[in-house]
Amino acid sequence: MTLPPGQRAVDGFPRFGKHLHHPPPPAPADPVIEIGGALTEALTLSATDLAELPRREIRADFHCVAGWSATGLLWEGAPFRTLYRTRVEPLLEPGAPISHVVFEGLDGYRSIALLEDALADDVLIADHLDGRPLDSDHGAPLRLVSPGQYGFVSTKHLCRVEFHTTEPPDPDRWSPIASHRRARVWHEERHRRLPGRAVRPVYRALIGPIRALSARGSRVRPR
């Protein structure tokens, strides 16, 4: 089994993230995804709209920028690219080429991706993991999954997607651990300005504490 540079396999799939000690946000009874940004009209996708999209299964490893990888996960959901081509492209403002996409979660988390990365073949809006509906630790009811990019791009509890024609403001841009705008795992694009290899030990030191805090907020009792 080959992992991208600087990654190590972990057993299972830990809950991990920024909203460490908080419990995951409750899943709404009727989940929707709002679509906005440089479009001629805003759009709200209901569960029915999403169910009309083709379904796809992706078997992939999941790589956190801190250095752990969960291997062989089976995701199911709608290809993001199909959503974009069928529902978003027809609403684009003429002459406004989309360059960036913002993904927002119900917990207030945000990630930014280049449109070209979000349109990769294996990017899904997932509702199932390993044959079961997503649980709240892993992003219920819907999450983005972009296996070719570090995990921070894959926003959990996805509730809003925005399309932009320029790079949207990023409050973390000057943070000492500002994330790389492309975040491609095989290029080791971890940090915005520093080489991925150089930041490995710093990021790796964060795994233990973040994992412990994330498990504390987990709805599933850690054993």
Ligand X SMILES: Nc1nc2c(c(=O)[nH]1)N[C@H]1C(S)=C(S)[C@@H](COP(=O)(O)O)O[C@H]1N2
Binding site for ligand X (CB under 6 A): 13-19, 64, 105, 107, 109, 138-139, 151-152, 154-157
Tell me if 122 sits within 8 A of 148, measured CB to CB: yes
Q: Of the ranges 70-78, 118-126, 138-146, 149-157, which one interacts with Mo ion (CB under 5 A)?
A: 149-157
Select from 23-31, 61-69, 141-149, 194-202 the region that touches Mo ion (CB under 5 A). Answer: 61-69
- The span from the CA of 140 to the CA of 18, in Å, is 16
Q: Which does 191 bind (CB under 5 to 8 A by kind): ligand X, Mo ion, none?
A: none
Stretches 2-10, 54-62, 64-72, 169-177: which one binds Mo ion (CB under 5 A)?
Answer: 64-72
Q: Three-state SS for 76?
A: strand
Position 151 contacts Mo ion (CB under 5 A)? yes
* Residues 6 or more apart in contact with residue 212 via CB below 8 angstroms: none
Q: Across the strands, what pairs with 189?
A: none
Task: Point out the residue whose Cβ comes nearest to ligand X.
Answer: 17
CA distance 25 to 44: 20
> Residue 51 Cβ, how far from Mo ion at the closest point, in Å?
29
Distance of alpha carbon 143 from alpha carbon 139, whole angstroms: 5
154 binds, among Mo ion, ligand X, none (CB under 5 to 8 A by kind): ligand X
Q: Does 64 bind Mo ion (CB under 5 A)?
A: yes
For 121, residues 6+ apart whose C-beta sits below 8 A from its C-beta are 79, 81
Residues that bind Mo ion (CB under 5 A): 64, 151-152
